[in-house]
Amino acid sequence: MNKVLSDLSRFYQIGNFDQIIKLIEANSQLLQDVQIANLLAVAYRRTGQFEQSQKCFESIISNSQHPGIRVSYAMLLSDMKLFDKAYEHLESVVKLDSHYFDAFLNLGIVATKRGDKRKALDAYKQAHKLKPQHLGALSGLINSLIIMEDLSSATKLCQDATLNQHDQLSLALLTIKIKLKQFKLEEVEKDISQLLDIHPSSFDIKLHMVRLMLLKGDVIEGLKQLKILNLERPCDTEVQTLLFECLASTKAQNPFEFYELACQKEINKSLIIDYYLKLMKLKYFNRAQKLIEVNHLHFRGDDSIHILNSMVYREMGFLDRAFEQLDKIGINSISYCSALYEKVISLLCNKKYKEAYSGILEGIELEPEASRWKSLEYTCRKYFSLVNPIDLTDNIWITDNFLNIELLKELKLYLLSLHKFKKEFIMQSIRDGNQTEGNLFHRNVPILDKVKQLFVEELQMNCLKRNLPYSGILNGAWSILMNEDGHHVNHVHSEGTYSACFYVSIPDVCKADGNGWFKCGGANISQNFIDEDDYYIEPMENRLVVFPSHLSHGTNPLSGIEQRLTLAFDYKII
């Protein structure tokens, strides 16, 4: 028996969970020990056998109140995407023991996954307070501050941290991550050079170096270095995404070249799904269908395969097949909400508005904070005449002559200087135009700081007038230079509560009815669902337009040779 226990300890240290399962199942008498039973449950979880893991955990918890076991069970629930239940279990642990570090650390992880930025930050703060030297707590807190757009506090944490030598590299990489967001490119170049002298083979440092190259506009050299990194990690999703963006920017014949090679070399479900979704967005439906057909065996027991199949069937016009796939997913599945969302879209394509609306109400009840249901609700209610399209104007705030003339001129000159480097963003909404990268307001530039302050003050004032919550973060800002025949396809902003467009420079031809105008209300959810826009707004220089982020919006094509310059942002109520 001692040998069995010794083997279990050894297998756990090297992460051989399959052998742990095999050994415990062959010695079932060991399960009388709670710790061994917990080990089996964890092993099932680590090998993706979630149902077996859940049964084990529920059996253990019925006989034990050990906080560590509850934390492990919560992380299983998180893996199953049952984030609310996972959060409840972790909260129950910290209520019993306000100093239980693992519970706070995992509260931060789960809160981040369910999109609760404020609670994630609070949890990581408590974990860091309990163990200031713990890398996971520190990096979680820093990343949480970055998500909350508080780069100054994140920077100070990096500067004040005292970690052991082994963790110094991780801290240095976090510092570089912040500086890249702030566009401190010269500082990043020096930092990377120094780190490569010490860690010449570090994959993460080299990946940051590529990000630096791309921000500087050196796409060709960035692509060259990415191909080298791809040899080392051909199935790394971030590498594949950057390769795709570089190939698209250089107008390569096949921007999916490396995705295809990676999916042939190794079975990686997350990479396959990422590749599939890009194919679907760019309407390569036949290739998307083939990708799933070739890899369907690797999704055995995973309901997401039915969702992927339904999406491609719907876009290819086979609605009956799409419904057949979605009907295989029961309400207790971790994929149920995603399946319900896809089913609603298919019902709208099939003009079954009553059934679609019923599904939307169910989705809102299951995911009250998810913006995707709000957009679909408006779309569906139009077809019941439950909402008059003109009601949309109650949620759109327009301010003319927003900046004084000098500020507007200064802003225009600065933004035009950013558009000298042209990069294609084929996964974004812009067509025939140029978009800046990152959050503009992270740049340490006085004119942007002034404009940001004025934007936030205006938005918060409008919220206060309407007795709406107003405290939040400006979590994205970018500029668009639109060319002749350019336009935005209709889209929504999933990361914001309010979005805005400020018209910096508008050609005179936009005075003509509809030329380059803002439009909204028409859902762009499927090529088989045609939805007309409900409202149009003339783009006028120095005009600020604020609207709900879940509102589907785009622009009419721009006629004429003069360019159209805008600055847009998202604001998230916290």
pLDDT of residue 249: 78
Average pLDDT over residues 67-96: 92
Residue ranges of alpha helices (H) inside 216-329 are 219-232, 237-249, 257-265, 269-281, 285-295, 304-315, 319-326
Q: In the structure, what pLDDT confidence band is assigned to residue 268 with cuts at 50, 70 and 90?
A: confident
Sign of CA dihedral 232, 186, 454, 537: negative
Whether the pLDDT of residue 425 is over 70: the answer is: no
CA pair distance 73, 470, nearest whole angstrom = 37
The CA distance from 296 to 305, in Å, is 7
Angle between helices 168-181 and 203-215 (to 10 degrees): 10
b/e for 14-23, b at 16 or more Cβ within 10 A? eebbebbbeb
Predicted confidence (pLDDT) at residue 226 exceeds the cutoff of 90 = yes
Hey, is 439 helix, strand or coil? coil
DSSP secondary structure code for residue 435 in this structure: E
210 vs 12, 158, 204, 216, 223, CA distance in Å?
36, 22, 10, 10, 8
Burial environment of residue 477 by CB neighbours within 10 A (0 to 12, 13 to 18, 19 or more): buried
- With a cut of 90, say whether residue 142 has pLDDT above it: yes
* pLDDT-based confidence at residue 191 (cuts at 50, 70, 90): very high
List the single range of 184-188, 389-393, 465-469, 533-537 with lowest mean pLDDT: 389-393
Angle, CA of 359, 490 and 482, to the nearest 5°:
165
The per-residue pLDDT for 391 is 59
At 548, phi and psi to the nearest 5?
-65, 135
Tens of pLDDT, residue by residue over 21-52, are 888 888 888 888 888 888 889 999 998 888 89
Task: State the pLDDT confidence band at 9, using cuts at 50, 70 and 90.
Answer: confident
- Cα–Cα distance, 349 to 346 (Å, whole number): 5
pLDDT of residue 421: 67
- What's the whole-number average pLDDT of the chain? 91
Cα–Cα–Cα angle for 176, 140, 442, nearest 5°? 45
Angle of helix 203-215 relative to helix 219-232, nearest 10 degrees, comes to 160
- Greater confidence (388 vs 420) lies with 420
Q: Which of 102-116, 286-300, 353-367, 493-507 has the lowest mean pLDDT?
A: 286-300
Could you tell me which residues come within 8 angstroms of residue 68 by beta carbon, excluding any fewer than 6 positions away? 38, 102
In sequence order, which residues have a C-beta less than 8 Å from that of residue 110 and are 6 or more positions away? Answer: 74, 75, 78, 83, 86, 87, 90
pLDDT band at 339 (very low <50, low <70, confident <90, very high): very high
The total of other beta-carbon atoms located within 10 Å of residue 527's CB is 13
CA distance 318 to 307: 14
Counting Cβ atoms within 10 Å, is residue 266 exposed (0-12), middle (13-18) or buried (19+)? exposed
Contact 440, 567 (CB under 8 A): yes
Amino acid at 230: N
Mean pLDDT of 407-431: 85
Largest CA distance in the chain: 85
Which residue do the tokens 């083997």 mark? 7
Q: Is the pLDDT of residue 390 over 70?
A: no
DSSP class of residue 491? B
* Residue 478: Cβ-neighbour burial (10 angstroms; 0-12, 13-18, 19+): buried
Phi-psi region of 542 (alpha: psi -120 to 50; beta: other; left: phi over 0): left
Percent of the chain at pLDDT > 90 equals 66
Q: Measured between alpha carbons, how far is 85 from 89 in angstroms, rounded to an integer?
A: 6
pLDDT category at 431 given cuts 50, 70, 90 is: confident
Residue 301 pLDDT class (50, 70, 90 cuts) = confident
Confidence of residue 388 (pLDDT cuts 50, 70, 90): low
pLDDT of residue 299: 83
Q: What token pair was written down for 248? A: 């698209």
How much is the average pLDDT of 402-416? 97
The average pLDDT across 508-537 equals 92
SS3 114: coil
Instruction: Band the pLDDT of 145: cuts 50, 70, 90.
Output: very high
Banded model confidence at residue 424, pLDDT cuts 50, 70, 90: low
Query: What separation, in Å, do the N-terminal and C-terminal C-alpha atoms of the chain show?
Result: 54
Q: Per residue in 198-223, pLDDT tens?
A: 999 999 999 999 999 999 888 889 99
* pLDDT of 389 over the 60 cut: no
One-character DSSP codes across 163-232:
--GGGHHHHHHHHHHHHHHTT-HHHHHHHHHHHHHH-TT-HHHHHHHHHHHHHTT-HHHHHHHHHHHHHH
Contact 134, 101 (CB under 8 A): yes
pLDDT attached to residue 422? 63
H/E run at residue 476: strand 472-488
Whether 266 has a pLDDT exceeding 80, the answer reads no
Average pLDDT over residues 115-143: 95
Strands 518-520 and 498-505: unpaired
> Residues 6 or more apart from 249 whose CB is under 8 A from it?
219, 423, 424
Q: Quick one: angle between helices 67-79 and 83-96, nearest 10?
A: 160
Q: What would the two tokens of residue 21 be?
A: 């399962």
Confidence of residue 1 (pLDDT cuts 50, 70, 90): low
Q: Which has the minimum average pLDDT: 83-92, 119-128, 331-340, 427-436?
A: 427-436
Amino acid 392: pLDDT: 61
Which residue would you say has higher pLDDT here, 315 or 249?
315
Q: Is the pLDDT of residue 545 over 90?
A: yes
Q: Specify the DSSP element, H or E, that contains 434.
A: strand 430-435
Name the phi and psi angles at 483, rounded to 5.
-95, 180
320 burial via Cβ count (<10 Å: 0-12, 13-18, 19+): exposed
Task: Report the SS3 class of residue 335.
Answer: coil
